[in-house]
Structure 1
């Protein structure tokens, strides 16, 4: 698995699997760094202007393409997402950016983690991109300097905290080392020099402390022509006179009234870092932390306030508005907290303003939604006190001038759609997902033996998902871990919202259950908002304003006004960048319970079904065009709603809707190669169609079955077909539906019905390996309906059958025909598949030149379209060609790219075994037999790609002089040879036979097999390198 490291501290460096690599051009390296550090998509126009501002637009974009080519050639492609308009970096565990990791650790360090501070400091090896400058790119240099200044400040913050922590722990040597780095970071920072002097004294090294003072004085005189300030001189005098240094006393003020917390703060490292940065910015005087009840706003605000206390010279003060019922009550509370006398003036707000005016204070106003008049008080204070900063928490915006917003969502949690982690990934899950960490930390308070295991991980992930990472819900759920298992807890949450409650006496009543939390929010909604919310619960996950208008029947203006109002009250989550809204799943459950009316729901669910299935139908063409990446992202975002709509259509027998949207949905899952998920979604539709087909044979219904059957076939590789949910009796039912549809189509003259029925029957025959019968049926399908799109699929399927029969030349003709059809339709994904099949078939014939040309063209298209299965297959084939030519370095790079894409896309292991087997061959050829053996054994366990794996094991055993093992694997390879159609792989078999004969000292036999291979017309000189891995002679 290829690991990419991007090092931005100091001179930029790049490593791939610990091996340093160099990007040829400076601006290409700058682009790689910019994409990695920003971690999001940018328009091509913006990137071109950033790095080539003096070039015309066309030339700038051409320079950008060259730079992107430099990057992908050096660092690989799997970490980037690029389409015609944008380029961005993908989040991946296989890409490590030191700056990103540093900032994550900074947030953890602010919560007190010593190991996080130490790791962060180890990453800081110098200023950001120090010594790296670009000519003619002022905007990039400005961005670089901004990043460097910010990161230097953050590094200094870590150094100060770490040196103090080390001294507390008695680690004087470590404290001094960190303090030295702090003084070197900014040599003119007197405070850093004083810190180092003080540490020298504590370590008993007064002479070193005085030398540090002289160094500081010399630097200040040389650089600034000034002497050290009074505090530095006083410290030096105290050291000379052997007195204990007198630290500057801070004013005797009530610095903080922040309530102490009984439990440790967990997670939110990114949010903490972002909030600290914003609340200490001079431009931000009012920052409102918004989010629904139970999201952890108060706890996060307290954490941020405690971390920034030293930035506010006159104190940090906390006031909760939860129990205040009037503006006057808030004023009295302010007077009490500031220690003022209420009777000194008839105008208490004036007294408060006079107190605050000269002071730099942070005021934390908590639960502002409970007292709307509190916003007016905050506005008056901000106007009167120029140095006052207010951090507010509220379920709704305060709607004041100058208000900055920070919307809080749930804690990061596992994706239940992804495979459960194991090994090291399982161990790291608790630190990776904040929701998991909070649940486990809380659970251990009631059950100290709680551990994260592979058996309880799925249930814990479900709990985190059902609560959407809401901290209060997780705490309430974890409170049951003394009596229930994670699986039991997940089941209770699913069935009963009232399960999430607690009897803890120190929780306010409004936080003792999720129902109480939502009751509090519900009371603040108008009747119009309550009705709208009930309608909006029909949506799953995110939704757009257009969907709201068309599903609920509101006009666009009313829909915009309603969603904006609900978002301001934190009932809906709004994402300004995407224009999408979302509802917390527990709030949806509450609303369904609170206003549940089964009769009211059906029309809305039908409207929802109609809207999303029509959307799938309308996007079908886009999914196979150059706009595919953008279309696929849109469908990704809508998939939860599409899934719900499709399942409702299957449950209610909406056959027309199923038929119209089937091919669009099939195209989506096919692009993602999510065949198991696609098969599971198509299965209820298949049952619906088969139940209805006896009364209503229909071409579109036949098409639904074909989509399901293809998903089912693709989702279960050959070895696992016995586990596939399509046993013989099921196939027989599908066949009856196809034949009934065919009879109906013939009697009614339905051309499309005949075509789809023949195509389904052909697919059944292909699945049963009756390739000749399948070809005849596919040809009948093509004769019945020679439409362009239909012709592509039929020609492609015929070509696959011909290739399975070893009729490679005929197969190539069919693949070329499918390529022509795809080109005529402008379908880029189909064009790529056809070209890839031509190349693969040419490889079977031993025509390496044609194969390489076609496969490179296909691979380029697949990369542009970000089609992972196509990328994997084309890289596997191109890797084999490079191997056969003897270019082991290129072959290894292509095999790793295929494996990286497959794993990043979550493919089942059986889907990338050819690449794994190729990797094994390359390792053996490179002399790394120890690494090759476990790799090949893993391939052989799957029962797929066994031929090339057995060949590699032959050569591996020959190197180890293990004749018995070599002979065993050679016999296995001979048994599989009749099913292999690639000429060069069969030549490798001949060379493997030569190797075994040589190992047995049967040199005549070895020479015979070697001459057979050498005189074969498909023999390539590079093949000698492959053969040399098996024998030294």
Structure 2
């Protein structure tokens, strides 16, 4: 029985390394020849990165309770190179040194013991069993034995436990693409190199190179590329492409080296374009490595060929999934069916577990209860090639598409009920697979398959910011499925709501009109009611209040007859907006309060957040901050849980109104800027009902802040979501009070504490205030009677202390924090 113990790894620490110099081999082998007896091969250059992994493996090997450690991982992840690097730092920890044995030249398990004996320099005669001779040679030694490339002779793994039992001071470090499944084995899965997380909204001029060089993968690419082309450097112009290369290659060292070798003839941008299909490009490795590591395809094929036929079948079929998947997903899509049409769940579980042990499939961390699994993209591409060659692709694509249709169909009602957060997370994880399935369905019959996928997912698109995609899916599927059915009416209503979200009111009205016609023809009351809500929204947005009221009345009558409490709440929320538009705030609040009760009974958190946002914003406009703040807090909490960035932006605008009322103009500007960035990212423009109060807030802030408003706006439109949450929570924690109250001493005390913590001097505050006023360095020097270079030194210190990269960002952060006004 195996006692595998996965090792817990700390988070990676940034490395400050020089990206120039000799290229270190980072894949699994340095050359194709076995090392001399027992000698650990010497690398041609220092290892790039891997500090976290080196420290973790070294710590484990120093633990006397760990005597067999296996470094596992897919081909090209750098197991061998990591082992060499670790051994270099551990020689003094083993009295009798380190011996190295490479098993790659052999192909049979019965040759393992003699190969180990050769590596240890054991001399024996035919009269003495080989194991006895080995034990006699090393029994008195306190040593580390490194056994490289064990995966293809894993049947001989019991020999390692025999050696350990006979030699109490022996420690073994093995590398293998699969676990060995022997007693006492401790497993360290070697991860791919850390890849950069580069913000999509990084502003022009942001020094991306410093950020990217904290990534091991980028460091390796730069070193290998500069060895191929001496003038290659990481610059702001090519940084994003280099980051994309490393991400597209999953951080696999061998793949990164093979890609960087192309830099002599391809720019980073050209490499990114060609890596849409990865394997054909990664096919020209060094001559002095084994054939299995000269191309990425060979590296993967070596592992694939070691699988038995059932494992190969599951591996190639699983490549049909574009993203992560659960065991239940695998059973439904890839398992062989029994005679009764069912699939054997336990067989699939065993085969997936075996692929995990062989590092071809990996378990992925998620917040969901069910374990999720995935494949590196290079492995998936190889698997998909095998699926094509096997002739199974068409059948697997069909199974996959129909399974995604079932998921979408089940999602519709769940997205307005108590399980909506779970389902939103599930659909987000499945989004790439849903996209793949929809594209397949659009090219195959029946046409209702694509329409059902699109119709079941429009609420997901609405909530998660895929509004344009959701609408395009429905409208393209509608063109293929003209039959006037309930499915078509459902899809038309969904498309109408999404069109309204984009403020395309004419399109929305046409879509809801046809839905109403079909629902009337087929006598579907619920669909008629939904169409009336949509038409009421269109009319209300156009300020056609009588028509809007007519449609809402019709909808409410229908849903009351059906006893549909959740949709009655939807009608009420829209009526509340209509009353707000008509300058009837008290009635609007009361209507939204009643709607919130019904949403709460239905477990619809998005509905609750919608009502709370409306109540909070109306209260903020009336300077009723005691009512505004708790409602906006609830809205933000629920929108965050739902991943609804558009809704979050609406609530932020309500908090900005509170901040303006409290005289906190700088942070109000920050919130509106951040909200604008969120709206743009998810294509969620401001509703006409909100336009006038929004423009009033902007005008007030421009008046109060002057030129500083522009600095704040430009900087804070790109705030990260976590920063936005911190900013809004700070404002909500302050005691709400009207603008004409006395200054809040607690706020000023917090500002003073922050200034002290940052170490900002009074002179630096003076300089920063003048920078905010638009003064040049010479103007500041003249006004403060100091030199221009002294001004520049103060500015440089401020950028460091405020952790920003530009003067405008420094001004914006100082204004937000109250350091300057």
TM-score using structure 1 length: 0.58
Give distance in 2, aligned partners of 1:485 and 1:466.
16
Q: 1:833 aligned to 602, 605, 610, which one?
A: 610
Tell me how far apart the structure 1 counterparts of residues 514 and 309 of structure 2 sit (CA, whole Å): 54
Looking at structure 1, the residues matched to 718 and 64 of structure 2 have their Cα atoms a distance apart, in angstroms, of: 62
How far 1:364 sits from its partner (Å)? 1.4
Q: Deviations over 1:327-376 (max 9, x none)?
A: 56444443443344345973332232233223222221111013235423
Give the match's secondary structure for 1:596: helix
Aligned positions of 1:464-475 closer than 5 A = 464-475=246-257
CA separation of 1:688 and 1:659: change in aligned 2, threshold 3 A: closer
Q: Which residue of 2 aligns with 1:265?
A: 47
2:397 to 605, 609, 631: 605
- Check if 1:302 corresponds to 2:84: yes
Q: 1:755 aligns with which of 529, 535, 548?
A: 529
Matches within 5 A, 1:953-968: none
Change (3 A) 1:310 1:704: farther
Aligned equivalents of 2:300, 2:72: Cα separation in 1:
15
- Counterpart in 1 of 2:380? 588
| 1:259–1:648 CA distance, 2 compared to 1 (3 A) | same
Q: How far apart are the structure 2 equivalents of 1:496 and 1:276?
A: 34
C-alpha change, 1:706 and 1:624, in structure 2 (3 Å) is closer
CA contact (8 A) 1:443 1:450 kept: yes
Compared CA separation, residues 522 and 861, structure 1 to 2 (3 A): closer
User: 1:483 offset after TM fit, Å?
Assistant: 0.6
TM-aligned CA distance change 1:744 to 1:941, over 3 Å = same
CA shift for structure 1 position 556: 0.8
Q: Deviations over 1:483-530 (max 9, x none)?
A: 112343334333462321115211211111122122222221222222
Are 2:484 and 1:697 equivalent residues in the alignment?
yes
User: In structure 2, what is the equivalent of residue 574 of structure 1?
Assistant: 363
> How far apart, CA to CA, are the structure 1 residues paired with 2:107 and 2:297?
23
Confirm whether residue 547 of structure 1 aligns to residue 338 of structure 2: no
Q: What is the deviation of 1:546?
A: 0.9
Are the aligned partners of 2:516 and 2:532 in contact in 1 as well (CA < 8 Å)? yes
Change (3 A) 1:441 1:940: closer
Change (3 A) 1:321 1:860: closer
1 CA distance for matches of 2:365 and 2:592?
46
CA 1:503–1:436 in 2, change beyond 3 Å: closer, same or farther?
A: closer
Q: 1:933 to 1:388 in 2, by over 3 A?
A: same
Task: Tell me how far apart the structure 2 counterparts of residues 920 and 407 of structure 1 sit (CA, whole Å).
Answer: 57
What are the within-5 Å matches in structure 2 for residues 929-948 of structure 1?
A: 932=709, 934-936=711-713
Q: Give the alignment of 1:332-371 within 5 angstroms.
A: 332-342=114-124, 346-371=128-153
How far apart are the structure 1 equivalents of 2:417 and 2:601?
12
2:350 to 557, 561, 569: 561
Counterpart among 530, 535, 548 of residue 317 in structure 2: 535
Correspondence for 1:881 among 646, 651, 658: 658
Separation in 1 of the partners of 2:708 and 2:122? 75
Deviation of 1:547 (Å): 1.0
Relative to structure 1, is the Cα distance of residues 669 and 283 closer, same or farther in structure 2, using a 3 angstrom cutoff? farther
Counterparts of 1:918 and 1:546, CA distance in 2: 51
CA-CA distance at 1:841 after TM superposition: 1.9
Render the CA deviation track for 1:551-601: whole Å, top value 9, x for unaligned.
Answer: 234311111121122222222223598622222322232233234169633
Matched, 1:431 2:213: yes
**Residue matched to 1:276:** 58
Flag the 1:420–1:522 CA change in 2: closer, same or farther, 3 A.
farther
Distance 1:469 1:418 in 2: 19
Residue in structure 1 matched with residue 284 of structure 2 by the alignment: 502
Q: Could you give the per-residue CA deviations for residues 788-835 of structure 1, whole angstroms, max 9, x where no partner exists?
A: 333333332343344345443443344234324313323233123212
Q: Could you tell me whether the CA contact under 8 Å between 2:110 and 2:156 is conserved in 1?
A: no
| Counterpart for residue 306 of structure 2 | 524
Count the aligned residue pairs: 686
496-505 or 596-605, which deviates more: 596-605
Note if contact 2:91-2:97 (Cα within 8 Å) is conserved in structure 1: yes
What is the SS of the residue equivalent to 2:263? Answer: coil
Q: Mind listing any 5+ residue stretches in structure 1 that lack a counterpart?
A: 1-39, 41-98, 114-253, 943-951, 953-958, 964-1028
Instruction: Specify the alignment match of 1:104 in structure 2.
Output: 13
- Structure 1 residue 545: Cα displacement: 0.9
- Give the corresponding residue for 1:818: 595
Task: Indicate the residue corresponding to 1:803 in structure 2.
Answer: 580
Q: Indicate conservation of the 8 Å contact 1:839/1:850, yes or no.
A: yes
The answer to whether the 8 A contact 2:486-2:522 is kept is: no
CA distance, structure 2, for counterparts of residue 699 and residue 327 of structure 1 = 64
1:742: which partner in 2? 516
CA deviation after TM superposition for structure 1 residue 295, in Å: 1.7
Return closer, same or farther for 1:597/1:696 CA change in 2, 3 Å cut-off.
Answer: farther
1:361–1:388 Cα contact (<8 Å) kept: yes
Please list, as runs of the form range in 1=range in 2, the aligned pairs for 1:6-25 lying within 5 A after superposition: none
1:440-492, CA deviations, whole angstroms, 9 ceiling, x for partnerless residues?
32222212333445554554444333322222122111111111123433343
Cα deviations across residues 928-966 of structure 1 (Å, max 9, x unaligned)? 878555215778999xxxxxxxxx9xxxxxx99x99xxx
CA 1:606/1:935 → structure 2, altered by over 3 Å: closer, same or farther? same
**CA 1:287 to 1:488, structure 2 compared with 1: closer, same or farther past 3 Å?**
same
1:403 to partner: Cα distance: 0.7
Whether the 8 Å contact between 1:859 and 1:871 is mirrored in structure 2 is yes
Seen in structure 2, the aligned counterparts of structure 1 residues 840 and 503 have a Cα distance that, compared at 3 Å, is: closer
